[in-house]
């Protein structure tokens, strides 16, 4: 799903940026979020738990590199806010909540909760962890 997000630069300053969320049944526990870099070659790619995104739509969630806050109507913020942190810095990005919710529902329809393990190629996972076995 492609959408336009808002990179938060300051208290009242944002800049529109494109973003893309993808979901692959072969990696059913995660979602991939991509934000293009300035020259479209250095995309910022973030893999994180699909559950984390689900929880973040309803309550503040996350403790590590990805933290998510739901819309906050008391502060007139209708968007989902995601904080991304790595060794080079951090970015605070607002995403429109309704398209994100609708897309997430489609991922749950594709692979319902509790059925994720059935979609994983466990032989391939073990092969990556234990090469030569």
At residue 76 the predicted structure's pLDDT band, cuts being 50, 70 and 90, is: confident
Sorted by sequence, the CB contacts under 8 Å of residue 44 that are 6+ apart come out as 34, 35, 36, 37, 84, 91
Instruction: Give yes or no for a contact between 6 and 14, defined as CB atoms under 8 angstroms apart.
Output: yes
pLDDT band at 133 (very low <50, low <70, confident <90, very high): low
> How far apart are alpha carbons 80 and 95 in whole angstroms?
5
pLDDT at 36: 81
52 touches 64 (CB < 8 A): no
Going by C-beta distance under 8 Å and a sequence separation of 6 or more, which residues neighbour residue 65? 46, 48, 84, 85, 86
Q: Which domain holds residue 118?
A: 2-129
Q: How many residues does the chain have?
A: 133
Q: Which residue has the higher pLDDT, 92 or 132?
A: 92
The pLDDT, as a whole number, for residue 63 is 92
State the average pLDDT for the chain: 90
Q: How many domains would you assign to the chain?
A: 1
Answer whether 5's CB lies under 8 Å from 17's CB.
yes
Q: Residue 23: name the closest of 44, 43, 53 by CA.
A: 53
The pair phi, psi for residue 61, each rounded to 5°, is -145, 155
Question: Is residue 123 very low, low, confident or very high in pLDDT (cuts 50, 70, 90)?
Answer: confident
Average pLDDT value for residue range 93-97:
96
- The pLDDT of residue 130 is above 90: no
| pLDDT given at position 14 | 94
pTM: 0.85
So what's the pLDDT on residue 95? 97
pLDDT at 39: 67
Q: Quick one: average pLDDT of 9-30?
A: 93
The answer to whether residue 70 scores a pLDDT higher than 90 is yes
CATH classification of the domain holding 43: 2.30.31.20
């Amino acid at each position: 799903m492609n959408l336009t997000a808002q990179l938060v630069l300051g208290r009242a300053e944002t800049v529109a940026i494109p973003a893309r969320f993808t979901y692959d049944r072969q990696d059913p526990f995660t979602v991939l979020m991509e934000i293009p870099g300035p020259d479209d070659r250095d995309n910022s790619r973030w893999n994180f738990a699909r559950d984390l995104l689900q929880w973040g739509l309803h309550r503040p969630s996350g403790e590590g590199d990805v933290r998510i806050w739901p819309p906050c109507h008391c502060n007139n913020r209708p968007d989902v806010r995601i904080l991304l942190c790595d060794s080079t810095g951090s970015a605070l990005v607002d995403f429109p909540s309704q398209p994100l919710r609708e897309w997430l529902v489609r991922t749950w329809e594709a692979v319902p909760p509790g059925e994720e393990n059935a979609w994983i190629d466990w032989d391939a996972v073990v092969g990556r962890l234990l090469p030569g076995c």
